């Protein structure tokens, strides 16, 4: 009895040890998810451009101030409006109202080139440059704000409403954006070569601004330069993710907002963090948050092959074939999906397919579409393509002739001919019968002896 209890206790201890081991060392069910507690910014997203996928979200649709993206939208509209960046605009007093401390130093009455205004606006975050552009393009800040909203609607930014080119002083309850919309706007803006060039320019010397605040405007994105904050400079290293500047702003309503991107292994990620203020050590958390999230995205995700084009999904019978009586069904091409790099494709990715053609008639061309296949992970579709015939199937002329000869069409035709012949014979019989009745019979005289 004691021996049985001892064995039972021993087995129980071993089971507990195994459970503890697997609970500690087993892979997490969702290893790709980044821990939100590791970042200080209350609003954050990471977006993969090539796949149009948000891989990290934290309060992605909460309203924040439009100052975080207003100048990006202003640059988009300005480049659409002006084909010649050397065009010069006169600075008016009304265009220098409601500004913040970040200014290029343009003055009433002077003429400034569109190029200088756009460059100083995006590089130095200068609100006076943005305001001058808005007044010349829209006629007023309010009118330009309507143009910004029309463009936002065109781009599908459903939670963004602008009041002006600067966003300064606008109530978040009425005029706002979100980090989700901010990243989508940034993705659109970075496709414009001129904007991609400007936001990665670390210093710019305006030529048409008379006695500017600074002869050289330096980028306010500390990832790209040590000029403002040396602690946040992200030194590019070969073989590692490196930053691309997009936007860095500050407002009392939304704190610090930083948008930056990186391209690693042919995949581009854009991250936006907003809402954090300086911490107790007077550090700007947005820089550390964005850097951590971009590094995580670059390390965690990749493009994996989820379906090889050689996989066979079935066979379809082929009539009138000169060779094989069936044809093999395969994917139209190999499929790849944007997934965490440690995804076990064999166990985590499932296939759903349908072959719509039950039978084919030769000749069958190679690549004939005969169905579809969908790849799913966690119930969500990650890739899909057509199913096609793998090879060409030649037609047998003798079988085709025999099929035509003994086919239903020929049988029906012969049957109709036979029926017609029978009807013709019957009709002819009755015609001759009638003619025979109407013909007088010959009556000869009897011979006398």
Q: Does domain 308-397 match CATH 2.60.410.10?
A: yes
pLDDT score at 323: 77
Classify the C-alpha dihedral 262-263-269-270 as positive or negative. Answer: positive
pLDDT score at 254: 79
pLDDT score at 407: 54
pLDDT score at 97: 85
Closest CA to 389 of 368, 415, 419: 368
Report domain extents, the chain.
37-301, 308-397
Strand partners, 244: 261
pLDDT digit string, tens, across residues 344-394:
999 999 999 999 999 999 899 999 999 999 999 999 999 999 999 999 998
Low-confidence ranges of the chain (pLDDT < 50): 1-31, 399-401, 448-449
pLDDT score at 19: 37
pLDDT score at 363: 92
Q: What kind of fold does domain 37-301 have according to CATH?
A: Beta-lactamase (3.40.710)
pLDDT score at 85: 96
Classify the C-alpha dihedral 147-152-153-159 as positive or negative. Answer: negative
Other C-beta atoms within 10 Å of 84: how many? 8
pLDDT score at 1: 44
């Amino acid at each position: 009895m004691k021996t049985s209890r001892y064995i039972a206790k021993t087995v129980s201890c071993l089971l507990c040890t195994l459970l503890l081991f697997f609970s500690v060392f087993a892979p997490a069910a969702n290893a790709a998810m980044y821990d939100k507690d590791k970042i200080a910014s209350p609003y954050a997203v990471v977006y993969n451009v090539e796949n149009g996928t948000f891989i990290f979200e934290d309060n992605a649709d909460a309203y924040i101030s439009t100052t975080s993206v207003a100048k990006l939208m202003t640059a988009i509209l300005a480049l659409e409006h002006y084909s010649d960046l050397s065009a010069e605009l006169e600075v008016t007093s009304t265009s220098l109202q409601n500004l913040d401390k970040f200014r290029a130093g343009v003055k009433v009455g002077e003429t400034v080139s569109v190029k200088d205004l756009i460059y100083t606006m995006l590089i130095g975050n200068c609100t006076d440059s943005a305001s001058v552009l808005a007044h010349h393009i829209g006629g007023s800040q309010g009118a330009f704000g309507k143009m910004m909203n029309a463009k936002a609607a065109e781009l599908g930014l459903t939670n963004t409403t602008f009041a002006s080119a600067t966003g300064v002083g606008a109530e978040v309850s009425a005029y706002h954006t979100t980090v989700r919309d901010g990243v989508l706007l940034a993705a659109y803006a970075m496709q414009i070569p001129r904007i991609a060039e400007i936001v990665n320019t670390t210093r710019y010397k305006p030529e048409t601004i008379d006695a500017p605040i600074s002869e050289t405007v330096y980028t306010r994105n500390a990832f790209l330069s040590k000029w403002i904050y040396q602690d946040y400079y992200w030194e590019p290293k070969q073989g590692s993710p490196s930053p691309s500047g997009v936007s860095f702003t500050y407002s009392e309503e939304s704190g610090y907002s930083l948008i930056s991107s990186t391209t690693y292994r042919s995949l581009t990620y854009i991250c936006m963090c907003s809402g954090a203020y300086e911490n107790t050590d007077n550090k700007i958390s947005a820089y550390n948050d964005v850097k951590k999230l971009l590094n995580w995205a670059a390390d965690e995700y990749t493009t994996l092959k989820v379906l090889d084009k050689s996989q066979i999904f079935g066979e379809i019978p082929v009539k009138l074939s000169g060779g094989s009586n069936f044809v093999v069904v395969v994917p139209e091409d190999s499929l790849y999906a944007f997934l965490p790099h440690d995804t076990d494709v064999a166990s985590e990715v499932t296939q759903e397919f349908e072959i719509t053609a039950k039978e084919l008639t030769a000749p069958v061309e190679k690549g004939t579409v005969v169905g579809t296949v969908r790849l799913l992970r966690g119930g969500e579709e990650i890739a899909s393509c057509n199913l096609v015939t793998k090879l060409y199937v030649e037609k047998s002329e003798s079988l085709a002739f025999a099929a035509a000869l003994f086919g239903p069409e020929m049988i029906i035709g012969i049957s109709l001919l036979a029926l017609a012949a029978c009807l013709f014979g019957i009709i002819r019989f009755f015609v001759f019968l009638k003619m025979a009745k109407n013909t007088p019979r010959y009556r000869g005289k009897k011979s006398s002896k």
